[in-house]
Each structure stands twice: as structure tokens, then as C-alpha cells.
Amino acid sequence: MKKITKFKHKKVLVLGLAKSGVSAASLLHKLEAFVTVNDQKPLAENPEAQGLLQEGIKVICGSHPIELLDEGFEYVVKNPGIPYHNPLIKRAVEKGIPVLTEVELAYLVSEAEMIGITGTNGKTTTTTLLYEILNEGGQRPLIAGNIGTVASEVAQTAAKDEKMVVELSSFQLMGTQEFSPHIAIITNLYEAHLDYHGDLGEYWHAKANITKNQTEDDYLIINHDQDHLVKTVGFTKASIIPFSTTQEVEGGAYIKAGGIYFKKERIGDLSSVVLPGAHNLENILCAVAAAKLYGVSNESIMSVLGKFAGVKHRTQFVKEVNGRKFYNDSKATNTLATKSALNAFNTPTILLAGGLDRGNGFDDLIPHLKNVKTLITFGETADKLQQTGQKAGIKTILRVDNVEKAVPAAFENSEEGDVILLSPACASWDQYRTFEERGDIFIKAVHTL
């Protein structure tokens, strides 16, 4: 770990705990900052805060008192989930106090090079796939960020000959100042998280932060098929490596004549890839491009592509029961992700969907529901999804209480050869703490059959 002095004897407020806050507070304490932790959960119910207190870190729990900022803090490190319209954060910005997230700390202390991966969809699959390919190719990768261990924890023990593969959200990237990965990847950009960002411009700008500090010695891998993405990162100084699923691109990764190519070199046959879905071609091309920049052999790349079947909760094959194939796509928390999942299958499909009502409609799903024979809805959006299903002409539409009850209902209304797909198109928070919990309940219900 680099022994930086940026925070030495500086007053730093860590706002919000969870894994990222705990790691940030402990790291700052090691860097000899004067750390104060503030978390909404009362101390008696907050084992994380209690642990930091035992480390000698000042802890204030139970609320976010605005007067905290009168104590002369020089930095605020906030949990990514806390929005910028939070009164305490707004006041910090007004006072000119830098507001960071823990990935900034990770970058500052890491001895290892970083590969940063962001985008609206495909981040987790790309991160995991690239990690597996680099590992197969002997590159000593470490995986961190939104997937696995938080980046600021991994960075503390990362060695110079290792590479940190870090999944990054727009929430994290908004809180960066010096952060600059050697390789940055933006899988795609669509409309998302407007309840957090307020408008599309702020969301796209946050994503573009991944390349704002890159130099001519760095690389930016981007989706050439999206003109708005190309324009959004037009300011970059990094060498742009394009990828495209629709055309040959100069100096980048693409699909051609049933093969995967990078800079005119055929990496291998597309038919050898086991990861399902046309949308995953983007993720594959991102991973291939980054791997080739590190000199990974075609054999290592194709070895992984020949066995990598996906990430849990992302169009994950669960089990085949009496000729019905069950897929868990609980990570699909918006319609865009559900469209991708639906387009991955050309067989009769039973769709399980529903969840938190964020005020949006679902009619943009209609063109993608052509293979859906039965729709099973649950959660706050059940009625809205039912109306969309009716407009799409789906003959059988059922409403159930939750995911657990949706599984046997789907099985009872299925036939041999059908796909039964959980792809909710909604966040999980109306009924479940996380999309992972929702997906795990689905998996358990499938095995209970």
C-alpha cells in the first residue's frame, strides 16, 4: 500500500457505513487522518460503528446532524448510496468541502494498476469475465468494487504485479477527483438512476468521470455502436479502443463471420462461447479487448469463453425441471435489462416480473414480449405489468404475492421446452432487501419443485 500523506492530520468525515464506509474509515485511520464516522443507524443496533469505536475512531450515530460540518472537516467520504441532495452533502458542497467516495481512496493507495468497468448494463458480467480471463492468462488479477470486496480494502494489500479489476457505479464515480484507471471500460449508456441523479446529463457525466483523468498512456474501451456515448467521452486523452457487435471497427474488438476479432486478429469462434444472449456479446468484446491489451493469449481467452456461463442473478441458468429451463435474472432492475434477457431466448417463455414502483411504465417492453406466453406479476408494479401484458396480447396473466409463489405458478402453466425467466424489470425493495435476496428465493423455490 502506498503511504500517502494527503489525509495525514486532516479532519475527515465518513458519512454512512455499510462495507464501503467501514473500509474507508479504517483506511483513513491508518493514514493518520482525524476520522469522524456518522451513520443514521443507532449505535446500539450498529455493530460496524461499534467496531470502529473500538479502533479509536470517533463515531456519531442515530442521525445526520447538519451542524457536524461546523467542525472544520477538510474532506467528506460518503457512502455511494447517499444522494447529493442529502442536506448534509449539499451543505458540504456549498462550503467547498471535497466529497469523495471510497474508490478514490482505493486508487490513491493501490500499488496495482486498475481496470475500471462501468456502464448501465453488463458491468458485473464484464468484470467477472475479465477477471477469469486475466487469471487464466497468468496476469494475477484482483476483483473489487460493487462485486466482491470493496475496492479500498483490496487496494491495501494489492501488489505492483497485480491488477485490480473494479466494477464502478455512477454513484461512486461522482465522488472522484484524481481517480484514473489504466484501462477504463464503458459497456453502454442508457437512461437509469434518474431518481438519484436528477437528469440524464448528470448520470452520463458521472459515468464519463471514469476517463476524465486518463492520459495518453491509458486506454478507454467504449461501445462504438452508441453515438451518444462516443460524444459523451469525446474529451478523453486516453487511447480509444472501440468495440461493436454490428460492424468491423478499426483498432478494436468486433464480431465478423462467426468469429471474435481484435484488431483484425481472429481470437476464436463465436460458436464456442457458452454465455447466452446477444446482449452478452458486448460484455465479451469488452473483456477480450482489455485482455488483449495485456497480451493474454487467444487460447486463454477462448478457454474461459468456452466455460463461462454467466454470473449469479444475471440471466443465470438455475436448473431444468421436466424439460422446463429456469433462469434467474433478478439483477434486471429496469426494463432495459429485462429486454436484454427476453431477447436472449427464442423459445416460449414464462416471464416473472414485478417489484418496486418508481413511477415509470412498462410499455417499452411490449415489442420484446413476442415469445412470452404467460406473464406472472408480483409486487407494487403488478397492476402496471398486467396492463402492459394485456396490450401485448399475452393470453395468460397471473398475479401472485411474491417470487416464492410465482415459481410453482409458472411451472403449473408451463410445458416441456419452455423457458421460465425471473427478470423483474424493477428494483426489489418493496419486498426484499436486495436483488440478490430475491434471486436466492427464486433459486430455492426452483429446487423445491
**Digit-coded pLDDT (tens) for 139-198:** 999 999 877 789 999 999 999 999 999 999 988 998 899 999 999 999 999 876 666 666
Pairing of strands 349-353, 259-262: unpaired
Is 249's pLDDT higher than 90? yes
Which residues are annotated binding-site positions?
Answer: 119-125
Residue whose C-alpha is closest to residue 106's, from 164, 29, 39: 164
Residue 81: the pLDDT is 84
The stretch 282-302 carries a mean pLDDT of 98
The stretch 301-309 carries a mean pLDDT of 95
> Residues of the chain with pLDDT > 90: what percent?
85
Q: Which residue has the higher pLDDT, 175 or 355?
A: 355
For residue 302, the surrounding DSSP H or E stretch is helix 298-305
Residue whose C-alpha is closest to residue 34's, from 12, 50, 65, 59: 12
Distance between CA atoms of 293 and 1, rounded to whole angstroms?
A: 25
User: How many other C-beta atoms can be found within 10 angstroms of the C-beta atom of residue 37?
Assistant: 28
Distance between CA atoms of 281 and 293, rounded to whole angstroms?
A: 18
Which residues are annotated binding-site positions for ATP?
Answer: 119-125
The residues with which 254 forms a beta bridge, in sequence order, are: 244, 261
Q: Which residue has the cell 424493477?
A: 426
Cell of 112: 496495482
Distance between CA atoms of 360 and 293, rounded to whole angstroms?
A: 41
Q: Which CATH number is correct for 11-100, 3.30.56.10, 1.10.10.60, 3.40.50.300, 3.40.50.720?
A: 3.40.50.720
Task: Quick: pLDDT tens for 184-240.
Answer: 999 999 876 666 666 777 888 999 999 999 999 999 999 999 999 999 999 999 999
Residue 220's contacts (CB-CB under 8 Å, 6 or more residues apart) are: 183, 184, 185, 186, 211, 214, 233, 236, 238, 239, 240, 241
The residues with which 376 forms a beta bridge, in sequence order, are: 352, 398
Residue whose C-alpha is closest to residue 410's, from 442, 363, 368, 369: 442
For residue 22, the SS3 value is helix
In 295-448, beta strands by DSSP E: 316-321, 324-328, 349-353, 372-377, 396-399, 419-422
pLDDT band at 278 (very low <50, low <70, confident <90, very high): confident
Distance between CA atoms of 267 and 259, rounded to whole angstroms?
A: 7
* Integer CA distances (angstroms), 306 to 81, 260, 268, 271, 365, in order: 36, 13, 10, 9, 31
The residues with which 257 forms a beta bridge, in sequence order, are: none
Residue 121: the pLDDT is 86
Give the end-to-end CA distance of the chain in Å, rounded to a whole number.
49
Cell of 68: 457536524
Q: Which residue has the cell 439483477?
A: 331
Distance between CA atoms of 315 and 449, rounded to whole angstroms?
A: 20
Residue whose C-alpha is closest to residue 196's, from 231, 170, 228: 170
The model's pTM: 0.81
The dihedrals phi and psi of 135, each to the nearest 5 degrees, come to -65, -45
Architecture of the structural domain at 106-305: 3-Layer(aba) Sandwich (3.40)
Q: Taking the CA of residue 258 as centre, how many other CA atoms within 13 Å lie in the half-sphere pointing to its CB?
A: 3
Is 348's pLDDT higher than 90? yes
Residue 379: the pLDDT is 97
Q: Which residue has the cell 417492453?
A: 365
pLDDT band at 400 (very low <50, low <70, confident <90, very high): very high
> Where, residue-wise, is CATH 3.90.190.20 in the chain?
316-448
The stretch 88-110 carries a mean pLDDT of 96
**Is residue 362 a contact partner of residue 335, using CB atoms and an 8 Å limit?**
yes
Q: Which residue has the cell 469522524?
A: 36
The stretch 11-35 carries a mean pLDDT of 95
> Where, residue-wise, is CATH 3.40.50.720 in the chain?
11-100
Residue 289: the pLDDT is 98
Residue whose C-alpha is closest to residue 169's, from 220, 209, 131, 128: 209
Residue type, 336: L
Distance between CA atoms of 148 and 337, rounded to whole angstroms?
A: 21
The residues with which 222 forms a beta bridge, in sequence order, are: 186, 242
Q: Which residue has the cell 455493530?
A: 47
The stretch 48-59 carries a mean pLDDT of 94
* Integer CA distances (angstroms), 236 to 121, 209, 220, 233, 356, in order: 22, 10, 8, 6, 37
Residue 193: the pLDDT is 64
CATH of domain 316-448: 3.90.190.20
Residue type, 322: N
